[in-house]
Chains A and B, each alone.
Chain A
Amino acid sequence: MSFLIARNISRQYRLKGFQLGQPNTLEAIKDVSFELEKGKTLAIVGESGSGKSTLARQIIGIEKPTTGEVFFNGERLSFNNKKHRKLRFRNIRMIFQNPYESLNPQTRIGTMLDEVLRINTQLSAKLRDQKIDQTLTRVGLLPEHRHRYPHMFSGGQRQRIAIARAIILDPQIIIADEPLSALDVSIQAQILNLLQELQEEMGISYLFISHDLNVVEHIADQVMVMFRGEVVEYGNIAQIFDKPKHPYTQSLFASTPMYRQRFPDFIRPSLIKKRALTNQGCCFSSRCPYCEDHCKAEHPELAEKEEGHLIACFKVE
């Protein structure tokens, strides 16, 4: 049952300054659509500049998309509507990438969690305290930790605090923007386990942004691959990880040592000479090993090549 639906989200930014011959708008994301089902994880994969963080900002409501709509539980969410804002902030929560930047250094974490509850719920002080204790314990910290400031915690612990902040309102959706990237390998495993446990217990859906393919394979149900603001491939985990079709997706696998044994035929990016970037035609034309002339002129649309598996490429039939 899809209950978060995004349709044709685009976001353009007006660039400051003026340069002859250059467009003065930046198209950060173009025509992105997806559907998220209850209790499932949709992973968004892409490198820097792919627009994944911008997309997260549009969905959660920090910014208003230039075009496109977001539906939650069938209801269309408006950016300006106060009621919708409250609904969004309560039900769609976010975990940021950098645990060292996402917590206010001047606020004790207990106070921070208490404020979240005070703004968004009607719970009494006693119930709030209980909820805070419960949540801290649930993420693997101790209730006593509420008196501490963020700098007294390690990176992994801070990310647990960030998770506590996200789950304390019992949200239905959590957007996790590269939650593991800033953490050490052994801590990544701890946090990933925690996120999985929480999903199984609380039925939370995740919008999981990551560039780490084997983490994505471990946790995702659906995968959306983005490049330069556009969706190039979309499918379920088996489709993407057994038979990836788009050349960019294939290059991602080819760049990751672990997956080279599974896909020995995929061409490594190092062997491709880069071509000039264009605004017309396929977004990947500058780096695609199969690029032909018509790829540079026409823009391939995202099309369903098999059930549930969408690819934007002329090569794939």
Chain B
Amino acid sequence: MHLLRIENLSVSYQSPQGELPIIERLSLKMDIGEILGVVGESGSGKSMLALAIMGLLSPKMTMRADYINLDGEDLMKMSANERAVYVASKAAIIFQEPQASLNPCFSISSQLDETLSIHSGGSRSMRKTRALELLDAVGINRPEVILRMYPHQLSGGMNQRIAIAMALACKPRLLIADEPTTALDVTIQSQIIELLVSLSHSEDVGLMLITHDFALLSENTDRIGVIYSGQLMEHAATENILNSPRHPYTKALLDSIPQLGDRHIKGSRLFALEGHIPSIDQLPVGCRLGPRCPKAERQCVNKPILRSIENYGKVRCHLAEEIADQPVDSVEDKQ
């Protein structure tokens, strides 16, 4: 049984120039308890995907989909109110800035209490016990002390843990983490990611980890989805993607990261994709990566579709089969 099934999700923005596509026909599946990594650079639409699932899009956006199936129920078939209630009980989201989830005017305990009273109810003392349990589950050392404090008195890492605790308070089946560690120091980053992964395993919660940092995903995820310019370019098991990526964009992303042991050799260069992400109002005809793709051919003027490759996963590229045979570029002289 799938936890999440999205088919042909499109999100567009109403602008004076017309409807601009933010996400185009994105289809995705997640199993129960799976950890999915969603990788994309800024402007790829990955954050919009999270907001679309949670129903947090701004009124200026229109959302269309064949279906969005969350834990058995189709969100597209519900009214706005029904959807809000259902999603709130089944899914939770953590943002990049913990300040976005935490209100500076209220103490930690009152915020946790508020969440708990909406979602699980119970008497005040039951809620207090549960709050302490949650803070303990996210690795906070002296929860009774922390409960009485305010967000601005705590560090970014602490606040993010509290945000995670609040997210778990509603006992979600799906936890979406949108760049949860980008604003944190490197040592805290790994701690938070480990926390999310261990919670996902222990509470059997599906985790969608959205990030631009491939390295974070390599150890932790079951599958990875790569998004570029509002489209899903590749979706496969983590080892497959890391060892033999089929899409040129994924390959380029992996190649741009300096390899281990890749030291200051004179004349060596990283592989870098030229150009930049197309702006929404000037999208290329055909494949969105076309103008920048080192492998682009004549046929790339036609839009590629997301198709399944045997023993691998799904790729949106005309040349998926050929690319598979080439090794991952490392230190290449590119000028």
Contact indicator A185/B264 (Cβ below 8 Å): no
Q: A257-B219, A273-B141 are in contact. Are A219 and B264 (CB under 8 A)?
A: yes
Say yes or no: A193 contacts B270, CB within 8 Å.
Answer: yes
Which residues in window 247-276 of B have CB below 8 A to A? Answer: 252-253, 255-264, 266-274, 276
B24 on the A face (CB < 8 A)? no
A257 to B263, CA, bound (A): 18
Bound-complex Cα distance A220 to B262 (A): 11
Number of residues from A at the complex interface, CB < 8 A: 46
Task: Determine the residue in chain A with the shortest Cβ distance to B267.
Answer: A200
Per the 8 Å Cβ criterion, residues 209-235 of A in contact with B are 211, 213-215, 217-221
Residue numbers in A under 8 Å from B256 (CB-CB): 185-186, 188-189
Residue B257 contacts which of A156, A185, A196 (CB distance < 8 angstroms)?
A185
Cβ-based interface call for B100 (8 A):
no
| A269 proximity list for chain B (CB < 8 A) | 187-188, 190-191
Residues in B whose Cβ lies below 8 Å from that of A41? 264
The 7 lowest CB-CB distance pairs between A and B, nearest first, are A189-B256, A218-B258, A184-B41, A189-B272, A47-B185, A255-B190, A270-B191
0 or 1 for each of A259-289: is its CB under 8 Å from B? (1 = yes): 1111000001110011000000000000000
Q: Chain A residues near B189 (CB, 8 Å)? A: 255
The residue that A185 contacts in the complex, of B195, B212, B268, with Cβ under 8 A, is B212
7 contacts between A and B (CB under 8 A): A185-B213, A185-B257, A186-B253, A200-B267, A218-B262, A258-B218, A269-B188
Query: Is B194 part of the contact surface with A, judged by Cβ < 8 Å?
Result: yes
Q: Mark A179-211, 1 if CB is under 8 A from B, else 0.
A: 000001111111011001100100000000001
Which residue, A192, A200, A260, has most C-beta atoms of chain B within 10 A?
A: A192
User: Is A218 within 8 A of B270, CB to CB?
Assistant: yes
The answer to whether the Cβ of B105 comes within 8 Å of any Cβ in the partner chain is no
When chains A and B are docked, how far (Å) is the Cα of A270 from the Cα of B193?
A: 10
Whether B215 is near chain A, meaning CB under 8 Å from some CB there, is yes
Which residues of A lie under 8 Å from residue B264 when comparing CB positions? 41, 218-221, 237
- Across-interface contacts of B41 in A (CB, < 8 A): 184-187
Check if B215 sits within 8 Å of A257, measured CB to CB.
yes
Residue in contact with A218 in the complex, picked from B212, B213, B218, B263, CB distance below 8 Å? B263
Tell me, yes or no, whether B214 is within 8 Å of chain A by CB. Answer: yes
B258 in contact with A196 (CB, 8 Å): no
CA–CA, A176 and B212, complex, Å: 22
B276 neighbours in A (Cβ, 8 Å): 154, 156-157, 187
CB distance from A133 to the nearest CB of B (A): 20
A246 to B176, CA, bound (A): 36
Residue of B nearest to A255 (CB): B190
How far, in Å, is B287 (CB) from chain A's closest CB? 16
Given A186-B252, A257-B215, A268-B190: A193 and B260 interface contact (C-beta under 8 Å): no
Contact across chains for B257 and A193 when beta carbons are under 8 A apart: no
Question: Are A184 and B212 closer than 8 Å at their CB atoms?
Answer: yes
B216: chain A residues at CB < 8 Å are 257
Q: Which of B205-231 contact A (CB under 8 A)?
A: 212-216, 218-219
* Residue A48 is within 8 A (CB to CB) of chain B in the complex: yes
The reply to whether B262 and A190 contact each other, CB–CB distance below 8 Å, is no
Please tell me if B85 contacts chain A, counting CB pairs below 8 Å: no
Residue of A nearest to B190 (CB): A255
A256 adjacent to chain B (CB < 8 Å): yes
State whether B262 touches A185 (Cβ < 8 A): no
Q: Which of A47, A157, A241, A256 contacts B190 (CB 8 A)?
A: A256
Nearest A residue to B220 via CB reads A257
Evaluate contact between B266 and A200: CB separation under 8 angstroms: yes
Give A48 Cβ to nearest chain B Cβ, in Å: 6
Q: Please, how many angstroms separate the alpha-carbon atoms of A256 and B191 in the complex? A: 10
In the complex formed, the residue of A with least CB distance to B195 is: A270
CB proximity of B279 to chain A, nearest CB, Å: 9
A174 in the interface, Cβ–Cβ < 8 Å?
A: no
B1 at the A/B interface (Cβ < 8 Å)?
Answer: no
From known contacts A256-B186, A270-B191, infer whether A186 and B272 are also in contact, taking CB-CB under 8 Å: yes
Bound Cα distance from A283 to B258, whole angstroms: 31
Q: How far is the CA of A301 from the CA of B215 in the complex (A)?
A: 35
What residues of chain A lie closer than 8 Å to B255, measured between beta carbons?
Answer: 189
How far, in whole Å, are A219 and B266 apart by their CA atoms in the complex?
A: 10
Q: Say if the beta carbon of B42 comes within 8 Å of chain A.
A: yes
Chain A residues within an 8 Å CB radius of B214: 185
Q: Kindly list chain B residues whose C-beta atoms are within 8 Å of the C-beta of A215.
A: 258
Closest to B194 in A: A270
A217 and B253 contact, Cβ closer than 8 Å, known pairs A186-B41, A192-B270, A252-B187: no
Taking the nearest CB of chain B, how far is it from the CB of A99, in angstroms? 12
Whole-angstrom distance between the Cβ of B130 and the nearest chain A Cβ: 24
In the bound complex, CA of A19 to CA of B293 (Å): 59
Q: Does A54 contact B (CB under 8 A)?
A: no
Within 8 A of A (CB), among B91-132: none
In the complex, A20→B271 CA distance in Å?
Answer: 56
Q: Does A239 contact B (CB under 8 A)?
A: no
Bound-state CA distance A270–B195 (Å) is 9
Interface centre among A155, A196, A200, A221 (most CB of B within 10 A): A196
Instruction: Say whether, besides A189-B270, A214-B260, A257-B219, A251 and B253 are in contact (CB < 8 Å).
Output: no
Contacts of A190 in B (CB 8 A): 272-274
Q: Which of A156, A214, A261 contacts B258 (CB 8 A)?
A: A214
